[in-house]
Structure 1
Amino acid sequence: MYFPPFFYGYSHPITHAVVICLIGLIFVLTRHRRIGLGIVTLGALWVTFCAMPVFVDHLQRGLEDQYAIKPASAYPNEGAIVVLGGDIPPHENSDWNDDTNITAATRAGFGYLLFKAQRAPLVLLSAGHGGAQDMARMLEQQGVPSTALLIEDRSKTTYENALYSAAILRHQGIQRILLVTSALHMPRAVASFRKQGMDVVPAPAFSSQLNSPFRDNHRWRPQRAELWRCSHILHEYLGLWIYKLRGLA
């Protein structure tokens, strides 16, 4: 399912607050002043909460804590490792063999660590707009043979990641996979792949790239940067809800 660009605006707390306040204004103008002011207050409270690191952390954990984050060696052997594109890959000159650094926090990097740990003989890279080819090039530079790589480069959405990847995997006779994506994105990705009939072992990258810069200090103080982080988290909640509503996950 394709989400148009304006969908991302719908997931932003300021958009929600504006809509709520407009509804409140309608009540005020129709002589329901107390109800209208209450609704406007609700809109202001919503955007305030969404700017507070402690609240956004709670929303983030609701998605990320569904699947445990483990080192590559802790996963079982499966038919293939499926890596979804969409994040910034590790730098080619970074230490790809260190599972404690930023490499393990990226999708391509953690997929490499799983392959290096011999968790599967094949790595399927799923991303459109040249993303799959870029990941393949980097993995080959790290020593992954091209014969171990499968490319899915038509997808634009998580649903299409699952749809097109499942077709390739079935052609290879593979049913069970290790699925690699960010911890934040994992619930929607797992639901999408299972909807396509795949047996999925979630293998989230080590840490979210949306960690709050205010995690240790001022956790209760509203911060403008938290609105951006909250928007991305709410996008995942809304995306998962829409996928399930449409029968795509």
Structure 2
Amino acid sequence: MFEIKKIIGSLLMPLPLLGLLTLVMVFLAIAHKRKALYFGFVSILTLMLISTPFIGQSLIAASNNPAWQFKQAKQPKLDNIVVLGCSIMPNSRLQANHQLGDCALARLLEGVKLAHHYPNATLYVSGGGFANATNSQLMFETAKTLGISATRIKQNPLAMDTAEEAKRLAIYLVDKKTALVTSASHMPRAKDLFNAQGIDVIPAATDFQDFSQYPTYKQFIPNIAVLVAVTRVAHEKIGSAWVSVRRWIDPEAL
């Protein structure tokens, strides 16, 4: 079920979805040229437009709310700091930090920064993985090299998605003051899933995406970084819709 959910969700992202539509249109063009070429043109044009900073920024702006930054002045004490897993690139020949993807590194950096500021807080590093590597283990090793004592770090290596992370960590976090570290675009869904487990988390968003200050000449040129940011937001929209469907079927599911 987990693999099926991930496959379907991945195919609904902008690049594979619009790419598949274009392939279908090219195939149909053999028999119905005008309609197929029209829809193929629209698919490619849409992919290019949402990849420009000018259009892409409008699609991601609401999902990168600066208000989700952690405000240390308002939080004199923390019991826990939870860093959610993200992308990894397992390679046993590399050190742990080189196996963490950009969003995983951004999240861990924020978590380590908070751990230094709150020396009595426990740092939870979460997330499963593949190829004999997990987010939690790679983050654990990297956090140690950044000056966090191993005795302060707890791992959550079995959770394969945010809902599982919330469920597995709930027993340690309920009724505790907990900062939740994740990407800005992921924060609303992550906070919702943790709240559903009775965990009142304090947002500590990181990995913000903003292309509004790009020079004018770059605003209308397709950019892979913009497409990645738009894809992340699309992923969150689909993820939130999935949570709503699961809760409609079974209110206790998530």
TM range (shorter): 0.7 to 0.9
1:5 aligns with 2:7: yes
- Alpha-carbon separation, structure 2, partners of 1:38 and 1:120: 61
- Alpha-carbon separation, structure 2, partners of 1:154 and 1:21: 38
The 5-angstrom pairing of residues 1-249 of structure 1 reads 2=2, 3-13=5-15, 15-16=17-18, 19=21, 43=43, 46-65=46-65, 67-70=67-70, 72=72, 75-87=75-87, 106-118=106-118, 121-129=121-129, 130-170=134-174, 174-205=175-206, 207-208=207-208, 215-216=214-215, 217-223=217-223, 226-247=226-247
**Alpha-carbon contact 2:88-2:104 (below 8 Å) kept:** no
What stretches of structure 1 of length at least 5 have no aligned partner? 94-101
**Alpha-carbon contact 2:96-2:138 (below 8 Å) kept:** no
Equivalent pairs, count: 229
Moved more, 218-227 or 151-160: 218-227
The secondary structure found in structure 2 opposite 1:60 is: helix
TM (normalized to structure 1)?
0.72
- Alpha-carbon separation, structure 1, partners of 2:122 and 2:172: 12
TM (normalized to structure 2)?
0.71
The secondary structure found in structure 2 opposite 1:238 is: helix
When residues 70 and 197 of structure 1 are mapped into structure 2, their CA distance, relative to the original with a 3 A threshold, is closer
Render the CA deviation track for 1:11-52: whole Å, top value 9, x for unaligned. 1255147549969x99xx99xx99x99877764553343122
Aligned to 1:96: none
The secondary structure found in structure 2 opposite 1:162 is: helix
Structure 1 residue 167, shift from structure 2 partner: 2.8
- Alpha-carbon separation, structure 1, partners of 2:193 and 2:54: 30
**Alpha-carbon contact 2:14-2:47 (below 8 Å) kept:** no
Structure 1 residue 211, shift from structure 2 partner: 5.5
When residues 227 and 104 of structure 1 are mapped into structure 2, their CA distance, relative to the original with a 3 A threshold, is closer
When residues 70 and 79 of structure 1 are mapped into structure 2, their CA distance, relative to the original with a 3 A threshold, is closer
Identity %: 23
**Alpha-carbon contact 1:75-1:119 (below 8 Å) kept:** no
What stretches of structure 2 of length at least 5 have no aligned partner? 90-94, 248-252
Moved more, 182-191 or 213-222: 213-222
Render the CA deviation track for 1:112-154: whole Å, top value 9, x for unaligned. 1111111752111111132212222222333323332222111
**Alpha-carbon contact 1:87-1:106 (below 8 Å) kept:** no
